[in-house]
Amino acid sequence: MIAVTDFFDRPLLPSTIAAAVALSVCLAPASFADMRVRTTDGQVHNLPIDPEDIAKIQFGSRPEPPSPAKAQTKPVAKPPARSTGKDGPKLELGTFQEVRKKRDIYQDDAEVVGIVENLPPNTSAILPNFKVRGKDIEKWRHLFPGGPYRRDFGNKMAYAPDRDTALYAGGNHGVPHVLNDAWEYHLRSNSWNLIFPPDGGDHHILNRNLTAVAKNNSAKARRFLKSWFTENVVLKDGTLQTRNGGPIYPRHTWDAITYDRRTGRLMWAVLSDGSQYLETYARYTNQDPNALKSKLRRGSNLWTLDPDVGHWQRQTGSVFNPKMAGFGGTLHYVQDLGKSIWFVAEWNDDDGVWAFDGVTNQWTRLNTNNRSKFYQWTSDEFPRPSMQVAYSPKHKKLVAVRGPGVYVLDLRTNRWSKVHDDPATGASDSVTVFDYDTVNDVFLLANPGKWLKAYSFDTNRWTTLDPKGAGVFGLTSAGYFDERHGVFVLTSKGNKVWVYRYGPQTGQ
């Protein structure tokens, strides 16, 4: 017998669970992980529920208790002790050799270069329409009439200084599509380059058919799933993936995408290793699921891509790994550590602050604030999910903005602290764009169509900017700060790119 409860063991009505199951397969496999199926042997299974097992569910009553012989003792979680404000263990800061493999594959656009290089302080400009190019672009142009577009909860572009570009990826809430593609934007040529075409096409079609099977056991949907999994999915290198190495039904990026300057790889916390599809894959390809499980390899939910090779690869082989399952986290490369920091504090992912070394391929928990967990901590000294971060090499501080708060992870003390609160300034990974101006030592935050602000450690406050020229950009955007040219760059649909220079272009 199978019964369905929420995370607190409260029984769910048939209408509630039916809606949740449908949403869990059509939005994202982990969207409803706080709902679960418990069998009478005490085993607990999170959603998504295999569509062909929906008919076995008993609704409307609390699950039967497991038999005494097979009952499993559930550990009682102790709430973390309140922090005394202690610093974390000392971090080893230093100078690390960064890659130098710049490729001259882009041809400068003289008009664009002229606009960018001659842009006065506190001035913005709209560039001419950008160009779209790349691998198999004609095959996929119907999906990209105006480049990659800004993806939902995907406002961060990862700056790659050795390439003189910014890299971009990310899923959507199903509309207009869910893709595992990857792109590169080059400012001087004002062009988007498709470096990893969508592998497996639009993955939202996959989940629409999983939903159809769950609702009415559609024969047409089953035929589609058999074809899709056979043609597009393989178990290779210990990971269930698309044929060219991409993640299956990828998540948003939130703020969890970055560029490792030591290895020259784009990194994305996809929050999935693909294994949640293993049973379905085995069924539709007539394989033994247990034999497949034995081939899975230990690793994290981090996926990386070499832009020159154009091939995603899941990170495996590390001894210790963060859970990397919580929505709204951040992944950001920190030059003075030579590593990328991962952090989120969620009910399903309260694993502390971690750092990934792309050279040694190992994860380390940093024990920031002398803590391994943050979610139940009542302090407001650290950022909650949907944060956005940027790093200041000058101050050795990782700065996070979330809602009205400004938070600092000081690498010299290994400690999160809240340094400012401004109710008039709201930051969110679904709306704003945030980065650090390395030329003028200010943090820039754009809320397209509303305002542009700058935060400085010197004043510890936000300043509302009034750009001359094109003013504040009006379109929902993704963006980054271009260190070579000293400009804040926002890009959106309609082939539009907006650039802004805060202050004098000195020392560049």
pTM of the model: 0.83
Separation of alpha carbons 31 and 271, rounded Å: 11
Q: What is the pLDDT of residues 323-360, one digit of tens each?
A: 999 999 999 999 999 999 999 999 989 999 999 999 99
Give pLDDT, residue 176. 87
Give pLDDT, residue 8. 33
Residues 175, 37, single domain; the answer is no
Residues 263, 387, single domain; the answer is yes
Q: What is the pLDDT of residues 366-405, one digit of tens each?
A: 999 999 999 988 889 999 999 999 999 999 999 999 999 9
Q: What is the pLDDT of residues 442-488, one digit of tens each?
A: 999 999 999 999 999 999 999 999 999 999 999 999 999 999 999 99
Residues 253, 391, single domain; the answer is yes
- Res. 52 pLDDT band, cuts 50 70 90: very low
Residues 336, 434, single domain; the answer is yes
Separation of alpha carbons 142 and 179, rounded Å: 13
Count of beta carbons in the 10 Å neighbourhood of residue 451: 16
Q: What is the pLDDT of residues 98-147, one digit of tens each?
A: 887 666 789 999 999 999 999 999 999 999 999 999 989 999 988 888 88
Residues 351, 483, single domain; the answer is yes
Q: Is residue 277 part of a domain?
A: yes
Give pLDDT, residue 183. 96
Q: Is residue 206 part of a domain?
A: no
User: 58, 78, 95: which is the final residue of a domain?
Assistant: 58
Q: Is residue 71 part of a domain?
A: no
Q: Is residue 272 part of a domain?
A: yes
Of 299, 391, 302, 401, the C-alpha closest to 342 is 302
CATH code for the domain of 255: 2.120.10.80
Q: Is residue 98 part of a domain?
A: no
Residues 40, 124, single domain; the answer is no
Question: CB–CB of 263/160 below 8 Å?
Answer: no
Q: Is residue 437 part of a domain?
A: yes
Separation of alpha carbons 447 and 442, rounded Å: 16
Q: Is residue 95 part of a domain?
A: no
Give pLDDT, residue 87. 86
Give pLDDT, residue 33. 34
Separation of alpha carbons 35 and 45, rounded Å: 9
Q: Is the pLDDT of residue 54 over 90?
A: no
Q: Is the pLDDT of residue 1 over 60?
A: no
Q: What is the pLDDT of residues 137-171, one digit of tens each?
A: 999 988 888 889 899 999 999 999 999 999 999 99
The two beta strands, 362-365 and 354-357, are: antiparallel
Give pLDDT, residue 494. 78
Residues 396, 496, single domain; the answer is yes
Residues 299, 382, single domain; the answer is yes
Provide the residue range defining the domain that includes 335: 110-198+247-501
Q: Is the pLDDT of residue 7 over 90?
A: no
- Res. 174 pLDDT band, cuts 50 70 90: confident
Residues 383, 474, single domain; the answer is yes
Q: What is the pLDDT of residues 278-300, one digit of tens each?
A: 999 999 999 999 999 999 999 99
Residues 49, 180, single domain; the answer is no
Q: Is residue 76 part of a domain?
A: no
Residues 49, 192, single domain; the answer is no
Question: CB–CB of 49/58 below 8 Å?
Answer: no
- Res. 188 pLDDT band, cuts 50 70 90: very high
Give pLDDT, residue 495. 86
Q: Residue 233 class from Cβ within 10 Å (0-12 exposed, 13-18 middle, 19+ buried)?
A: buried
Task: Show the tokens assigned to 187.
Answer: 């400012």
Residues 118, 34, single domain; the answer is no
- Count of domains in the chain? 2
Of 6-20, 420-434, 455-469, least confident by mean pLDDT is: 6-20
